Chain A
Amino acid sequence: MLIELGQYIPGTSSIHHLDPRSKLLGLLLYGIALLAAPTGMAASLTGATILPVIILAGLAPAFIWRQLRPLIVFLLIIFIFQVAFTPGEVMAAVGPVRITREGLNYGLLALARVFFLVLAAAVLMATTDPLALADGLERLLRPGQRLGLPAGELALMLTLALRFVPTLLEEAERIMRAQVARGATFQGNQIKNLMPLVIPLFVSAFRRAEGLAEAMEARAYRGGQGRTRMRELHFRAADYIFLLLAGLLAAGSAYYRLRFGS
């Protein structure tokens, strides 16, 4: 069981070295630029600005392909749906299905938005240590704390998930083997057949959560308030340049939409 999407590839590239906050903000601005782009062509050109980032990060095309492969079918469905069901100027007809100019445009627009957004998120995760990502997220959300947003707790939940997913996977494998030793086959698609695996996992996760809460309390945890962090984050010149470029992209895209968009 290997989930490739969102895998971190340690490295020393200039993209790896960017502050996680700038990368998160960069992704946000890039997303705004994609959404603002009014036409399929504009969205594709906007999206293509990720290419220099990929090259700078030194990510292999094969890696990128593996990240996006699970998405292909989904993207095709979106594309075909848009192409086939948008009314407008008919360019070609296949049986009862009419392909319109507008359909092609919207199809490309939807395709480009989803494709490039997922690609950018994959690049972010591939070049950023998950822990740094959690830290960056916490730091960005911190102003929201005054509005009651539990930034510290959210970041902690993220790190706990990172910590416990491998442990629970190992446990799932062990329990599965133990039940196979008792003659279980886990065949058929009845939920009942999965109970010997699901219930012990559930019981164990619950027990772990209890133990964990206790251990955290014993180590003086009392919520996000008053906590400091070992890891410090620093903006460098490269971060400002990166954010400036991302900002320009978003602003440019928005301007184009207001000026020429529908």
Chain B
Amino acid sequence: MIEVQGVTFSYPGTTVPALENISLIIKPGEFLAITGPNGSGKSTLARLLNGLLRPGEGRVLVDGLDTGDEASLVDIRRRVGMVFQDPDNQLVAATVEDDVAFGLENLGLPPAEIRQRVAAALEVVELANLRTRPPHRLSGGQKQRLALAGVLAMEPRYLVLDEATAMLDPVAREEILQKVLELRREKGLAVILITHLMEEAALAERVLVLKAGQILLAGPPAEVMQQEEKLAAAGLKVPVTVALGKGLRQAGLKLPANLVTVEEMARALWKLASRK
């Protein structure tokens, strides 16, 4: 469990806090989306979860370990894995396999175990055949899968994706998301997805909307997406299916208001069609 308790954070040299009095609990195995416009504090919140940033006020506990406690940081970072937005800035080694090994080497694991975990992680992200390739000769999607492998090899319990799909084309984006959701199902990994795409946020169990450092909305996607005005005021757009549902209801269709994904919408429409 990750507990964020009354956290306020300001960057040095600024007067307005980037986050103000945030409290939040992330359960093991949960799928949480954190969304909001640029500058709303989503990435700051992500960096507080693994101790890259320490709260000015309040505290963050990861499975009971305080991120303010220097001695716990390695353990916290093993538990909370993070994939960043820019693929080029998070790959550190000159070959694919050496990059996956980097985190394990930092943990001080024996070489034999490192090799075995690296092989397993590359298998999971389907990069085993590119083991010896230099990262700069991978596509954007492959680079992000490699970054994911480097984190997975450390066997985290929580996976934070900080706009990890923002620079990818839609196919690569879908591949990464599918892979992450598959891992969540198989290993019970909690997923914390930071995104400004509402279509992506709608896939989560719970959505947190940030605006100017504060929690604007929180709840299941179907509830959050109903707040069209509030979202628009925060510079966010509801998924197009939600907008379509609204249009159809105004035209007289008796559609429920909690339709978010394409599949849900199709199912509801067929229900109406079969009633005729």
Contacts and interface: CB of A to CB of B under 8 A. Distances in A.
A159 interface: yes
Interface stretch (B17-25, B89-97, B224-232): B89-97
Contact of B110 (A170, A217, A221, A228): A228
B90 A215 contact: yes
Interface of B: 47, 50, 52, 73-74, 77-78, 81-82, 84, 86, 88-95, 97-98, 101-111, 114-115, 118, 134-136, 150-151, 154
B111 A220 contact: no
Contacts of B114: 228, 230
B108 A227 contact: yes
Given A228-B109, A231-B111, A219 B86 contact: no
Given A163-B135, A217-B52, A218-B52, A230 B90 contact: no
A234 to B, nearest CB: 11
Main secondary structure of the interface of B (DSSP, over half): helix
A214 B52 CA distance: 7
B111 A216 contact: no
Nearest to A212: B89
Contacts of B74: 220, 222
A219 B154 contact: yes
A52 B151 CA distance: 46
Main secondary structure of the interface of A (DSSP, over half): helix
B121 to A, nearest CB: 12
Nearest to A167: B136
Nearest to B94: A162
A214 B94 contact: no
B3 to A, nearest CB: 20
Which 8 A-B pairs give the minimum distances between C-beta atoms?
A211-B89, A215-B90, A219-B103, A230-B101, A220-B106, A162-B94, A220-B77, A230-B114
